Structure 1
Amino acid sequence: MSKDIRIKKGLNINMVGAADLSTSKAVLSNVYTLNLEDFHGITPKMLLKQGAEVKAGEPLFYNKNVEDMLFVSPVSGELVEIQRGARRKILAVKVLADKAQESVAHTKIDLAKTSKEEIKGALLKSGCWPFIKQRPYDVVANPDTTPKSIFISGYASGPLAADVDYVLQGKEAELQAAITALGKLTPGKVHVSVGNSGKSPLSTLQGIELHKVSGPHPAGLVGTQINRIDPINKGELVWTISPQDLIIIGEFLLTGKFNAERLVALAGSSVKSPKYFTTKIGAEISTFLYASGVNEENFRVINGDVLTGKKSSPDGYLGFYNTTVSVIPEGDDYELFGWNKPIFNKISTTRALTFSWLQPNKKYDLNTNTNGEHRAFVVTGQYEQVFPLDIYPMQLLKACMVKDLDEMEQLGLYEVAPEDFSLTEFICISKQPHQKIIREGLDLLQKEIG
C-alpha cells in the first residue's frame, strides 16, 4: 500500500531537448577520472602511487577521517595521474583503461544470513559505501552512525532529468538485493518514492515503504520527500541513495564485483539527438557527446542537470553521482531593453511583462544567461511560492550569510541540502548564489556543532 504525497508549491521548468527513450553504447573512454569535488568533506589519502596497475574495484584512496571508507577505480588499467593543488591537496585521480577489463572478485553475500556489520563491512571494502549520503550536511554517510530511516527518490521532476523508470528497467533483482541489505542498516523504514505512472520497477520491491509523489519540481527531490514523510530534528540522521547507485550496490551483492556502469541521459537543446548512453563513472564526456552531435559552436556542457550541475568542458569527466549531462546554448549575449519589453520565450514566476504563466506546458529553449547582475537581496515573497518545505527560505539564507548558528538551527538547516535551494536560486531577482550560501552554512554548522 502506498502513501501519496501531493506537492503544490514549485515550478516545472519545461525545456527543449529531453532525452529520447533509446540507448546507445558510448565509445570506450581512454581515461577515467575520480574528481574529489564530488566527495564533499572527504580528506583523501592515497593507497597507490602514480604508475601502479589497478583492477576495477581496487581501492585508490581512503578517507583520512574514516579509514575503512575506500574509494575504488571504476576500471582496470594504470594510475597515470594524481592531480594536486595547493598544499598538495588531491584534486583528481586518473586511470588509463586497459582494453581487456579485469575486476576485483569479492565473496558473494548471502543476504538472508548476513548481519548488519558484515553488510556494512562489505560495502566499505568494495567501494560502494560512498553512494550512501547522509542528512544533515549532505555528505557521504559515516558508517559509525545509524540512521533513523533511509530515503530513495525514484521520481525525477527536474528539468531534462533522466527518466528513472526507463533506466531501471530489467534491474529488479539488483534493486531488491540492495534494498534488502540497506534494510538491515536502519531500525526504521526504507522509504521509496515513485511517480504516478505505475511503471516504476521500484514499486514492486519488498521491504519498503512506498510513496507516490505528484506535483511540480522540486517534488522529486529527496529533501522535499523527507520533509513530508520523516522530518529531521537536531541529533537525527537519515541516509539517501539514488536509484542508479542502488543498481551498483545490488550487482556487487549478487556477483561480488564492483561495476561502475551508468546509463546517462545526454539532453539539451544544443544536442542534435538527445538520448541515453551506457558508459561508466568518470568517463570522458566527449565519448558520448559528439556521438549525438551538437547544433552550434557556442554551447555549455553541464555535468548534471541545469539547476544543480557544474560547468564542464567537452573533455571533462562524468561526475561520480551524475546520471545526466545537459548541453544548452551559452548565454553570453545581452538584449537591448530586455528588462522593458514583453517576454514570451522565458520562464518567470512574475506576471510583469512575462507570459509563461499562460502556457504552463510550453517547452523553452533556455540558455545560461542570468538576465541580470548580482545585487542586494530584495524581499519579494517569490521564494515561498516555489519552496514546498516547511521552512522560511529567505530567513534561512540570511542566517547562513551572517553565520548565526542558533538561527540556522532553528530555521531548519539540518533538513536541507544545496539542491533544495536550486529552484529559489533560479527565480532569484537578486541573482544570489543560494546553493553556495547553503553549502557554506552546512559546512560551518558541521564544523562548529558536528
Structure 2
Amino acid sequence: MSDAWRTVDIDGDIDPARSRQMGRRSAVTLTDEYVVVGTAMGAVVASDRRTLGECWRVEPDSEAAVVSITSLADSVVIGERGAAGAIRAYDLDSGTVRWRYATATDVGAPKQRTRFFLPFVVDFAVDDDRVYAAARRYERDGDRRSFSSVVYAFDADGTIAWTYETDASPISVAVRDGRVAVAYNRCPGEHHHGLVVLDTEDGTIRYRWDPPADGQRRVGDVSLLDTGAVVTSHADYRGYRIGPGGTEWRIDLATAREIDGETVYAYPNHVHATDDGAVFVTGNTYPEEGRETAVLHPDEQTAVGVSPEGIREWSTSVGGFAAELATAADTVVVPSAQQFRTRDPGVHGLSAFDVATGTITSHQTAGIATAVALEGETVAAVEEPVVYHDEGRRRGAYRLLVGSL
C-alpha cells in the first residue's frame, strides 16, 4: 500500500481494546464522494473522500455502537449494537434521517444491558434496489442459550419487502443474481442449517446446506458465485464450495492438529470468492479442551488462497485477528487486530491480497485495525487504541486512516 496515508482523529472517549478481542464497535464505508464512519459512541460522520474534511455529523441519540454500515443509492445505512438494535438510513449529502427501524421489535428486548445480550445488526448486503440486513439477539437462562434473529429486505425508502425469521444466529449476508445467502453460525434451537439461500424477490427459500459435522457451530461466512457459493465451516474448520447439486469440493483450513501433546484448531472466519478462486481467513487458536493453550495452530490467523478447483495455491499470515474483510473484484483487504496469545504489536495493520496470486501490499498501524472498506484503489480503515494487560502501554489512537493500494 502507498506510504501516503492520511489520518483523522475520531472524536469520542473510547476505551482502549485489551489483550482479548472486544467485538466489533466501529464501521466504515466508502462512496464516490464520502468516507463515512460509524463510531463506538454511536455517532455517524461523513468526510470528503479527497480532503477528509468533515461534511456532516449525526450525534447518537442512544448508547449504541455502530457496527455495520453500507450505502444504497443516495443513502448511507447503519446498524447498531444496542437496546433497540436500530437500523438507520441517512441522506448521503446532508445526514438527514430518511428512515429508521428498531430490530428489537422483532428479535426482542435485551434481558441484560451488557454487550453480548444487546440486539445486534450483524451484516448488510445491497443490490440495485434493496438493502438486506441480518439482526440477532442472544439470551441465556442458566445452561440454556438461545437466539432470535431476522433477515430483512428493505426497499430504498425503508419499506420492508419481506423478512425471514429463525432461532439461530446469523453471522454474514451476501447477495448476487437474485439470491440472498445467509450464514448461520450458532444453531442451538430448531434451525440446523448453516447456509440458507433466499430469493431476493420474496424471501422464499431456494436451498439450504449444512456442514457434515455435529455441534452448535455451523458456518462462519459465505460468498456467492454466479452459481453456488463458497462457505467457511465452523463445524469442521474447512472451506466448502457449494454448487447446484451440493458440495463440489472441500479444503482443510485449520483443522484439529496435535502439537506438543495438545489438540488445537482455528475457526475459518471469512471468505471472498470470485471466478479466479477464493481467499479464506482463519482466526485464533483454540484447544479442544478448555480455553487456554501454550501452542499455536500453524494455520491460525492466515489468509489461504484456493483455486476454483479447490486446490490450495498460497497462504500468508495476517498476524492478528480479523473482524471483517473489504473486497473489490479480485482484491481482498484484511484488517489485523490483536494476536492475544503472543501480544505482538508488530502485527497490527492491513494486508491486501489478490485472490489468485496472494499478497499485494501491507501497511502497519500503531493501534489495532478493526473495520475496513475498499472502493477502487482506495482503502479506508478504523484504528482503535490497545493496551496489552502484561505491558500497560497505550498503543495507537481512535482514528480514520485513508490510503491507496
Which TM class, normalised by the smaller chain length? under 0.3
Name the structure with the higher strand share. Answer: 2
Which structure has more relative contact order (CA 8 Å, sep 6+)? It is 1
- The structure with more radius of gyration: 1
Taking structure 1 as the reference length, the TM-score comes to: 0.24
Taking structure 2 as the reference length, the TM-score comes to: 0.26
Name the structure with the higher helix share. Answer: 1
